[in-house]
Structure 1
Amino acid sequence: MRPTAGKHNPSQAAQLGLELVAAAPVVAAAVALDETDAERVKRVRTAVDEIQAGNLEAAAAILDPLLAAEPEDFDTLHAGAVLRLKLGRFAEALALMQKAVTKNPGDAQAQQNLGAMLARQGRLEEAAAYFTRAIAIDPRNVSAQTNLGLIYQSRGQIEAAVGCYRKAIAADPAAAEGHSRLAAALKDTGDLPGAIAAARRALELKPSYTEALSNLIHYLEHACDWRELPALEAKLDKLTAPALARGVKCGEAPLLSVVRSADPVRNLRVASSASKDLAASMASLNMHFPHERRRGPRKKLTIGYLSGDFRNHPVAHLVRGLFQRHDRERFRVIGYSYGPDDGSDYRRHIAASCDLFVDLRSAGTAAGARRIYEDGVDILIEITGYVAGNRLDIPALRPAPLQVSWLGFPGSTGATFFDYAIVDKIVLPPTEIQTFAERPIWMPHCYQVNDSDQPISARTFRRADFHLPENGFVFCCFNNTYKIEPQMFDLWMRLLKAVPGSVLWLLRSNPQAEENLKREATARGVAAERLLFDGKLPKDQHLARLSLADLALDTYVYNGHTTTSDALWAGVPVVGYAGTHFANRVSASLLTNLGLPELIANGLDRYEALVLSLVQDPAGLRTVRRRLAERRMRWPLFDTARFARNLEAALAGIWRLHEAGKPPSPIVIADPGPMETAPAA
């Protein structure tokens, strides 16, 4: 059976469409009323006031009779369209707005609002045309400039987006939203100082602007500029508390929440507020995918993997070897990609490893969801989560009977449209099941897959190639700079003081972070030159150079994930920090499943003591390295085939529950695969 829906055409980034509608002004607020009919004008104005006050029934009582009496009147059509949009009657709203534009094509605001509604459907090419017409009529139309900028940004045309946002700001310098949009685009260009300045300006204009504050905090984290963070985070907590208490969208990005807070209950509340807002927006599309006829036994299950990261990206580095290892007698594998095709080996290999590989870059919400449904996907696995550029709008429409969250986001999505999340008992202990909205699938080993075929370059690097000391102890941490925070950095500096001649080898991410970390080191009595920075290399060469380090150091609130796996695969021991939420328990899971639990520390004091004990016992550290080398190919962590078998057991198990008419329930997978129903939590 085909899904029931309104008419939706392909687009590029349907979730962007949600932002367009949210960014656009209420249509009726901008209606330039025809004054020739005083009584009609008065009634439409009254209806506009009621809409703005949220009194939609009162507005309908005025506008419905007017539409019946004067179905060709532009002002009434225009106001009626926004009323129906507010009421969730999207198809009617769109039809009225299209008619309004036909009646008065010279009205810039009507052109802009029609564009915003089309963008809501993901019809970005058509939307862009209406925004362009609105700008031609009125170059100072702020919403049209901003919305066109969002479309450019979704296409990766960042400089064009920046130009639109600057024009919007020139037209209305006091509009905080324009500065916030500009900040995000400047961050995408690599202009971190510009992004920080624009976000600050947005907050000056609108001090309660939680989205801008959330972004500013994250930009400062990227820059490792911690001086204002305690005050800014306290302000964000205060601003978001009322919304979180009501369970509505709070404005804080879920990713920022897990980066800055190790409180899994608060992480869930932030994610839930975002997912509820997304689900409500998607409901207005009025799409329904019937799944009842698909319930039943299968000779072969169709598994869909949805991601924007099937390219040279940490997620692809992890999953590269998985798809080819699925049992084709029992599973059909489809990859759905909405990210760029970078032509990398990762992209080519993943595409070739799927039975079908579908590029959804040109598909909007409705088209993307419909494609998944019509491909007969039984279980959809989303592997991006709340990362920038995600397409959670697609699973929000529930195109598959069962939907699973995995890998890309270290925590619960808070979404009711995901039935399950793939975890393990270290990152999510059974006693903390209440911190997840999804039902857990507890894997027998680590929840994170790794590629057992990942090549390491045969190139021989020397320490001198990277200005590392020949004889000094080399600590390393190649995590992204936003994961580095003051408490762990304090500890690292104490380590450098305690180990003469040692250095800390870090990833070169942006000049601001390098400058700020050196300043922070100096403030802690450590010479800035003991912090060494190096940029990215091709992955196989990066793995080869990692072996030059003596010991890798984990981060605090948000562990290394792929970064920890990389160090272990390269043969470098990692001291892992085990914390209180998913994001800072990953290294503990990785090390446990490599048979190295002695490298896990459950507190900062233990972490520091463990590192020093390894530094002060060179023979013991050599023994650890030898055990790591021996276990790398024998323990579960890097056994991709074993992971595939256990994942297949999980997928078959949840399908059996589904075909039996049972609701999704937590399950435990026991190696080599039998499923057990988890005890009630």
Structure 2
Amino acid sequence: MIPTLALLLLAAEPDPAPAPSPPPIELNLSLTEAGRAIEAGRLDQAKAMLAGAVAAGAKGEPVDRLLADLALARGENEQAISLYQGLLASHPDERLLLERAGMAAIKLGRLAEATALLDRATRQADAGWRAWNARGVAADRQGRWDEADAAYARAAALDSSRAEVANNQGWSLMLRGLWGEALAAFDRAYLVNPNLPRLANNRELARAAAAADLPQRRPGELDDAFAARLNDAGVAAMAVGQAKRAEAAFAQAIELKAHWYSKAADNLAALGPAR
């Protein structure tokens, strides 16, 4: 016979909590379709689908991941990086989260944070060309050319079919005033994907800069000084009617994002239809 005290204790134990029921199949399908819509660039559709899924009870990490990806795709980078950082608290070494958080940080101009995130991403065994490509961009924004070269080389080695890498290499070389090398990089990108957005314009700028013999960056020259010389070259070209040379010079001065930005932008706008 079970003692009376034991019977009382057994009776006092609460019933075990029911196991949480898995999300309905319809919700899982809705989240999957929302992810596909984000990848395809159908961002308004993805937003509506996610809103519907949340209203129907979807929540947790699967939703947060999609919300972060949607925010990144929409350029809502503060929201994106906040969501990615929250997910990284539970998954500190997940390459995809680190990679995308790093991309958002670059777009926000938080370059030290971006570099740290992308360094962690590229240390992962499954790091792909996107992580290394983004690491190259972060290095470019800081004028760390050796790091940029190494990152782009690694990205190209991982996937030589990505025109984005050669295009970014071209911009990196343009920022250094290496016009001929930049044009060669843009030409490589063109052979891979001639329809890459902005590539045609990039090639034209590099071709004009190389043909017009724009100033090259001096060893150790800071952004401000190089941007000023490019702006001066553009003004001189504009004065004698060399519109293409002026456009190339002003565009590069703007890209450096120094305090000459507004002046060069005004000069470029002044070219108007002559371009």
Shorter-normalised TM range? 0.5 to 0.7
Matched, 1:389 2:261: no
Matched, 1:157 2:144: yes
**Cα–Cα, structure 1 residues 410 and 156, in superposed 2: closer, same or farther, change >3 Å?**
same
Residue 410 of structure 1 aligns with which residue? Answer: 267
The counterpart of 2:47, out of the listed 55, 60, 75, is 60
TM-score, structure 2 normalization = 0.66
Task: Give the AA of the match of 1:72.
Answer: G
Residue 178 of structure 1 aligns with which residue? Answer: 165
Give the alignment of 1:40-189 within 5 angstroms.
41-64=28-51, 66-67=53-54, 69=57, 71-73=59-61, 75-86=62-73, 89-138=76-125, 140-188=127-175
Distance 1:175 1:213 in 2: 16
The counterpart of 1:207, out of the listed 194, 208, 212, is 194
Deviations 1:533-554 (A, max 9, x none): xxxxxxxxxxxxxxxxxxxxxx
- Please state whether the residue corresponding to 1:105 is helix, strand or coil: coil
- Please state whether the residue corresponding to 1:412 is helix, strand or coil: helix
Per-residue deviation, 1:200 = 1.4
Deviations 1:418-464 (A, max 9, x none): xxxxxxxxx9xxxxxxx5xxxxxxxxxxxxxxxxxxxxxxxxxxxxx
Deviations 1:38-67 (A, max 9, x none): 935433211112334454454334423655
Distance 1:108 1:178 in 2: 19
Per-residue deviation, 1:185 = 2.6
User: Contact between 2:136 and 2:152, CA under 8 Å: does it hold in 1?
Assistant: yes
Per-residue deviation, 1:156 = 1.6
**Cα–Cα, structure 1 residues 88 and 191, in superposed 2: closer, same or farther, change >3 Å?**
closer
Give the alignment of 1:544-555 within 5 angstroms.
none
User: Contact between 1:196 and 1:219, CA under 8 Å: does it hold in 2?
Assistant: yes
Residue 30 of structure 1 aligns with which residue? Answer: none
Q: Percent identity over the alignment?
A: 21
Residue 246 of structure 2 aligns with which residue? Answer: none
Distance 1:173 1:187 in 2: 21
Per-residue deviation, 1:92 = 3.5
Per-residue deviation, 1:124 = 0.9
The counterpart of 2:224, out of the listed 309, 329, 335, is 309
**Cα–Cα, structure 1 residues 163 and 89, in superposed 2: closer, same or farther, change >3 Å?**
closer
Deviations 1:587-633 (A, max 9, x none): xxxxxxxxxxxxxxxxxxxxxxxxxxxxxxxxxxxxxxxxxxxxxxx
Give the alignment of 1:270-309 within 5 angstroms.
309=224
**Cα–Cα, structure 1 residues 94 and 184, in superposed 2: closer, same or farther, change >3 Å?**
closer
User: Contact between 1:309 and 1:316, CA under 8 Å: does it hold in 2?
Assistant: no
Task: Give the AA of the match of 2:160.
Answer: P
**Cα–Cα, structure 1 residues 218 and 60, in superposed 2: closer, same or farther, change >3 Å?**
closer
Per-residue deviation, 1:317 = 8.2
Deviations 1:195-248 (A, max 9, x none): 3332211101112235333333333334439xxxxxxxxxxxxxxxxxxxxxxx
**Cα–Cα, structure 1 residues 61 and 121, in superposed 2: closer, same or farther, change >3 Å?**
same
User: Contact between 1:158 and 1:188, CA under 8 Å: does it hold in 2?
Assistant: no
Per-residue deviation, 1:163 = 0.9
Distance 2:139 2:194 in 1: 28
**Cα–Cα, structure 1 residues 100 and 203, in superposed 2: closer, same or farther, change >3 Å?**
same
Give the alignment of 1:597-612 within 5 angstroms.
none
Answer 1 or 2: which has greater strand percent: 1
Per-residue deviation, 1:128 = 1.1
Task: Give the AA of the match of 2:106.
Answer: A
Give the alignment of 1:570-589 within 5 angstroms.
581=274
Distance 2:110 2:119 in 1: 14
Give the alignment of 1:445-484 within 5 angstroms.
none
Distance 2:85 2:154 in 1: 27
User: Contact between 2:43 and 2:70, CA under 8 Å: does it hold in 1?
Assistant: yes
Unaligned residue ranges in structure 2 (runs of 5+): 1-21, 213-222, 234-248
Distance 1:214 1:55 in 2: 26
Task: Give the AA of the match of 1:159.
Answer: D
Deviations 1:511-569 (A, max 9, x none): xxxxxxxxxxxxxxxxxxxxxxxxxxxxxxxxxxxxxxxxxxxxxxxxxxxxxxxxxxx
Q: Which runs of 4+ in 1 moved over 6 A?
A: 315-318, 392-395
Distance 1:135 1:406 in 2: 38
Distance 1:129 1:100 in 2: 17
Per-residue deviation, 1:87 = 5.1
Unaligned residue ranges in structure 1 (runs of 5+): 1-35, 226-307, 319-383, 396-404, 414-426, 428-434, 436-579, 584-681
- Please state whether the residue corresponding to 1:134 is helix, strand or coil: helix
- Please state whether the residue corresponding to 1:96 is helix, strand or coil: helix
Answer 1 or 2: which has greater helix percent: 2
Task: Give the AA of the match of 1:98.
Answer: Q
Paired residues in the alignment total 228
- Please state whether the residue corresponding to 1:173 is helix, strand or coil: coil
**Cα–Cα, structure 1 residues 55 and 133, in superposed 2: closer, same or farther, change >3 Å?**
same
**Cα–Cα, structure 1 residues 388 and 56, in superposed 2: closer, same or farther, change >3 Å?**
closer
Task: Give the AA of the match of 1:127.
Answer: A
Per-residue deviation, 1:173 = 0.6
User: Contact between 1:148 and 1:164, CA under 8 Å: does it hold in 2?
Assistant: yes
Distance 2:37 2:259 in 1: 31
How large is the RMSD of aligned CA atoms in angstroms? 4.0
**Cα–Cα, structure 1 residues 194 and 50, in superposed 2: closer, same or farther, change >3 Å?**
same
User: Contact between 1:315 and 1:408, CA under 8 Å: does it hold in 2?
Assistant: no
Distance 1:210 1:88 in 2: 17
Per-residue deviation, 1:79 = 0.8
Residue 17 of structure 2 aligns with which residue? Answer: none
